[in-house]
Structure 1
Amino acid sequence: MRKDIIAAISTAWGESGIAIVRLSGSGSRDLVDPIFRGGEGLGPSPPRLMKHGFILDADGEPVDEVLAVWFKGPYSYTGEEAAEIHCHGGTVAARKCLELCLRGGARMARPGEFTRRAFLNGRIDLAEAESVLGVIRARSDGALKAAAKCLQGRLSDRLRSILEELTDLSAAAEASMDHPDENIPEVSTQIYLQRLSEVARRMRDLLSAARSGRFLREGIGVAISGRPNVGKSSLMNAFLEESRSIVTSMPGTTRDVIEEVISHKGVPLRLTDTAGIRDPRDLAEEEGVRRSLEAMKEADIRIWVIDGSEPITADDRRIAASLQDSCCVIAVNKSDLPLSVDPGEAKELLPGREVRVVSAVTGQGLDELKDLIVLSVSGSTTVDEDVNSTERQLEEIREALALLEEAEGAFASGVGLDAALDLLAGSRGCLSRILGLSADEDLLDRIFSNFCIGK
């Protein structure tokens, strides 16, 4: 158990109804008690009982009217003794309360240190700790729901179940190698391989859910592209249901990259309205085109917007050629006007891509287009809300599955059993790192540095 007491403001900085100063570490209650005046003080009160009073400065002058509470370890967020001061929101009151705690012997908490202590004290595992950040950063109902399930242990339970089965399989294989005179009957070998295959299937299901969970957590990057004046900005505004991008009849109005986030069926869509792609007419437009091409490169998927009221142009064909190797869908815009472009004609320019006819003016086809975006990236029009995974977790699951499949092949061939056991151990190691069973300090530093101070 760590001896030092950490303190931080755990609520957002700025004016608000309430601000919370949080402390954790043995002696937190005794540190707050001298600066708190209310009833018999904080010391004699039982844990988890909110007390009303005032925080006093070194001269005994009131700083703010507050509520104070303490928690007895291990029944706190961090698993150790903790205390909280709930003062009025605003930068000065909260800062003064924090300063008094620091003068009393606490030190400033590092980013994510409260959650890190919760992990180190066994209150939560590493996957659950990362899901705390998922809850904080959720940008849709689906992302929040998935993160909350992970915080509840849904992902951890699936990982532990697979890890236990892999451990049992490794032990069985090691036992057969340690006692070669007691050869495993053929039927038992087949059962063993069936168990390996079943674990691999479960891990594939988990990998699929983790891929979907990454989109819930990070959103799907969508770049709206096309030549000038095809209605890209109008489409952006229609998605947002507000005027965010400037719309005029003059080609090339959008000269910079505009980014916004919407939610579709629980999935965040990170929309980027790009400048029209054509030969630039001036330096400003040239920079806009450069940024647009960069945004298109970084996006998970591109919407190629065509003006359906005009014949396909040479600029359209050049853009289509540049998108041949991209994840892309086609939007034939302006269906509220007489169409001069057949959807089949547009599809010929980008074979294998799906087309939707839409109107940014009337909203026709927009929901179908958003469904197509999610389907094209995730493989389904809805995303699994059981897992809110990080890129780190996704990579570990992917590596664990690859090692397991190699081990499966080695066991099936009956050669290289030592290597097969090493592969199984590697697969177990990947899952253990997700749970934090074998995490080093460097890994913990990388994870918790993403947290804010006070969480």
Structure 2
Amino acid sequence: MEALSDSIAAIATAWGEAGVAIVRLSGPDAVPLARTTLRFGPNGFPPPREMRLASLLDDAESPIDQVLVVHFAAPRSYTGEDVVEIHTHGGTLVAQLCLEALIRRGARLAEPGEFTRRAFLNGRIDLSQSEGVLGIIRSRSAEALRAAARTLSGELSEFVREVREELLELQGSLEAGLDFPEGEAPFLDEASLRDAAATLKLTLQDLLDRCSLGLLLREGIRVVLSGRPNVGKSSLLNALLKQSRAIVTALPGTTRDVIEEAITYRGVPIRLVDTAGLRTPVDEIEASGIERTRRELKQADICLWLLDCSVPLDGEDLEYLRSLSVREHIVLLNKADKGHAVTEDDIREIVPESSVISLSAKTGEGLELLKEEILAIATGNGSLDAGLNVTARQLGEIRQALNAMAEAEAALLDGMGQDVVAGLLGGARNALERLLGIACDDALLDSVFSRFCVGK
């Protein structure tokens, strides 16, 4: 891990005109640097957690702004170091001049996420909580914000630490039995070991479900609108957005490119992707659009396959319907206001497991039902209140731990040695330790904190 012997500074507020701008300073020289950059009144530099008025000075020692200064003394600060925040008047110039003055006097410009990185390195928060900070910053809905707050408060960390301790204890018992002579530290009873492994696997599966839901709240549900030309994909996009975002004409093949927009429904972002209609292309431009459609379908969380229910199905409709089992999907019978040449029962005879909804993008019939069904499929009908806002990295570590536990359970059922099981338990534990930051290196930290803004 890197040394923390220098002091860093950055503007912590967004760029542009505002009522207040905040310049943040952290490190062993934070207080001396602030003292030489600012002029305080007769009461001097503020004691910890008390805000005082000061003058920001230019190179000629002339005041250029009246600022408020607050000091957070180590270790009771965000970073665990001495932190000074200088609250200037908002604007693009004064905060920048304050930052430049601090840098001239010996501070270093902070890297993205470096304040939070120092909080982690100084033991103020663990790595999962650090990523919870980013979750709060990037939340796009109230539900996502609440899920991120649960992660930042340590709910995820506490859960993961408990599972890690159980893994450590079970692995230790197994390895003790392997290391010591027979009779001194006997092997665990096979039935008890199977029960313990099964319980740990179920616990990790529950955690994975909660975190998958949290990632959904954070990133949104990617929903791709697909189907033949002129079935109403763009009209449906406009109806869901409640605005005219896509061009709608009676001419088939109007949409040639991918259009992406987002709505929020019951606190969950839904990322709607309108695509070119699937058919034999009439020119090179349309062929390119159809290829993009196929790529989007592979990346979709849910595919909406639209049919014009006012006309009978043809061979291409039937061919696509029979391929829908490979992905999460909803079959939409659009243009229901024109009558039904194709019914929901007709579709269920072809694809019995499909969710089928009749709607009209023109009148709005069925739109609320569609949004409810999207949410139900994406969340598995789970409670949004249980979600934990995580990153793809964190979700990957939990999935790796779960896979290791599944392999351990299978090894026990296959009668493999306890040494093999102990190794798999160690693999699960290592994944959870990487999630918490107990086992990490600078490359991992660089990857995590590079996604933060400067000043956080």
The question of a shared fold, defined as TM-score above 0.5 by the shorter chain, is answered with yes
Find the aligned partners of 1:238 and 1:93 in 2 and give their Cα distance: 46
Find the aligned partners of 1:451 and 1:306 in 2 and give their Cα distance: 43
Find the aligned partners of 1:405 and 1:20 in 2 and give their Cα distance: 49
Deviation, 1:371, is 2.4
What's the TM-score, normalizing by structure 1? 0.92
Between 376-385 and 154-163, the greater mean CA deviation after superposition = 376-385
The answer to whether 1:62 aligns with 2:63 is yes
Q: 5+ unaligned residues in a row in structure 2: which ranges? A: none
Deviation, 1:315, is 5.0
Which residue in the other structure is 2:207 paired with? 206
Find the aligned partners of 1:122 and 1:149 in 2 and give their Cα distance: 19
The answer to whether 1:28 aligns with 2:24 is no
Deviation, 1:173, is 2.2
Which residue in the other structure is 1:16 paired with? 18
Deviation, 1:377, is 3.6
CA contact (8 A) 2:224 2:274 kept: yes
Between 160-169 and 382-391, the greater mean CA deviation after superposition = 382-391
| Alignment-mate amino acid for residue 10 of structure 2 | A
Between 247-256 and 310-319, the greater mean CA deviation after superposition = 310-319
CA contact (8 A) 2:174 2:187 kept: no
CA gap of 1:336–1:67, structure 2 versus 1, over 3 A, is farther
CA gap of 1:445–1:61, structure 2 versus 1, over 3 A, is same
CA contact (8 A) 1:150 1:156 kept: yes
Find the aligned partners of 1:172 and 1:337 in 2 and give their Cα distance: 70
Q: 5+ unaligned residues in a row in structure 1: which ranges? A: none
Find the aligned partners of 2:251 and 2:5 in 1 and give their Cα distance: 67
State the SS of the aligned residue for 1:437. Answer: coil
Which residue in the other structure is 2:440 paired with? 439
Find the aligned partners of 1:325 and 1:171 in 2 and give their Cα distance: 42
Find the aligned partners of 1:141 and 1:117 in 2 and give their Cα distance: 28
Deviation, 1:282, is 4.0
Find the aligned partners of 1:384 and 1:85 in 2 and give their Cα distance: 37
CA contact (8 A) 2:9 2:23 kept: yes
For 1:318-329, what aligned pairs fall within 5 Å after superposition?
A: 319-320=320-321, 323=324, 325-329=326-330
Find the aligned partners of 2:399 and 2:164 in 1 and give their Cα distance: 14
Which residue in the other structure is 1:7 paired with? 9
CA gap of 1:414–1:252, structure 2 versus 1, over 3 A, is closer
CA contact (8 A) 2:217 2:268 kept: yes
What's the TM-score, normalizing by structure 2? 0.92
State the SS of the aligned residue for 1:91. Answer: coil
Which residue in the other structure is 1:245 paired with? 246
CA gap of 1:99–1:331, structure 2 versus 1, over 3 A, is same
For 1:320-359, what aligned pairs fall within 5 Å after superposition?
A: 320=321, 323=324, 325-359=326-360
How big is the alpha-carbon RMSD for the aligned residues of Structure 1 and Structure 2?
Answer: 2.4
CA contact (8 A) 1:375 1:382 kept: no
Deviation, 1:409, is 4.3
For 1:173-184, what aligned pairs fall within 5 Å after superposition?
A: 173-177=174-178, 178-182=180-184, 184=186
Find the aligned partners of 2:285 and 2:172 in 1 and give their Cα distance: 66
CA gap of 1:100–1:252, structure 2 versus 1, over 3 A, is same
Find the aligned partners of 1:214 and 1:444 in 2 and give their Cα distance: 20
CA contact (8 A) 2:19 2:89 kept: yes
CA contact (8 A) 2:177 2:187 kept: no
| Alignment-mate amino acid for residue 23 of structure 1 | L
CA contact (8 A) 1:63 1:97 kept: no
CA contact (8 A) 2:135 2:218 kept: yes
| Alignment-mate amino acid for residue 95 of structure 1 | Q
CA gap of 1:278–1:88, structure 2 versus 1, over 3 A, is farther
Which residue in the other structure is 1:229 paired with? 230
Cα distance per residue 1:324-353 (max 9 Å; x no partner)? 533221111122332222123334554532
Deviation, 1:321, is 5.7
Which residue in the other structure is 1:39 paired with? 41
Which residue in the other structure is 2:171 paired with? 170
CA contact (8 A) 2:128 2:437 kept: yes
Find the aligned partners of 1:412 and 1:320 in 2 and give their Cα distance: 40
| Alignment-mate amino acid for residue 302 of structure 1 | C
Find the aligned partners of 1:103 and 1:59 in 2 and give their Cα distance: 14
CA gap of 1:15–1:340, structure 2 versus 1, over 3 A, is farther
Deviation, 1:374, is 2.9
The answer to whether 1:131 aligns with 2:132 is yes
CA gap of 1:205–1:414, structure 2 versus 1, over 3 A, is same
Find the aligned partners of 2:18 and 2:107 in 1 and give their Cα distance: 25
Cα distance per residue 1:155-183 (max 9 Å; x no partner)? 10100111111111122223333242146
Q: Among the aligned pairs, what percent are the same residue?
A: 48
CA gap of 1:318–1:61, structure 2 versus 1, over 3 A, is farther
State the SS of the aligned residue for 1:195. Answer: helix
CA gap of 1:326–1:107, structure 2 versus 1, over 3 A, is same
Find the aligned partners of 1:248 and 1:89 in 2 and give their Cα distance: 48
Between 208-217 and 69-78, the greater mean CA deviation after superposition = 208-217
Deviation, 1:424, is 1.4
Deviation, 1:411, is 4.8
Which residue in the other structure is 2:147 paired with? 146
CA contact (8 A) 2:46 2:69 kept: no
State the SS of the aligned residue for 1:85. Answer: strand
The answer to whether 1:194 aligns with 2:198 is no
| Alignment-mate amino acid for residue 46 of structure 2 | S
CA contact (8 A) 1:209 1:384 kept: no
State the SS of the aligned residue for 2:330. Answer: strand
Deviation, 1:272, is 0.7
Find the aligned partners of 1:40 and 1:223 in 2 and give their Cα distance: 65
State the SS of the aligned residue for 2:270. Answer: strand
Cα distance per residue 1:97-155 (max 9 Å; x no partner)? 21111112111111111111110000000111111111111122221111110000011
Find the aligned partners of 2:216 and 2:255 in 1 and give their Cα distance: 28
CA contact (8 A) 1:256 1:291 kept: yes
Find the aligned partners of 2:363 and 2:352 in 1 and give their Cα distance: 28
Find the aligned partners of 2:382 and 2:370 in 1 and give their Cα distance: 11
CA gap of 1:5–1:335, structure 2 versus 1, over 3 A, is same
For 1:368-383, what aligned pairs fall within 5 Å after superposition?
A: 368-380=369-381, 382-383=383-384
Which residue in the other structure is 2:259 paired with? 258
Deviation, 1:381, is 6.0
CA gap of 1:63–1:306, structure 2 versus 1, over 3 A, is farther
State the SS of the aligned residue for 2:85. Answer: strand
Between 332-341 and 2-11, the greater mean CA deviation after superposition = 332-341
CA contact (8 A) 1:374 1:381 kept: no
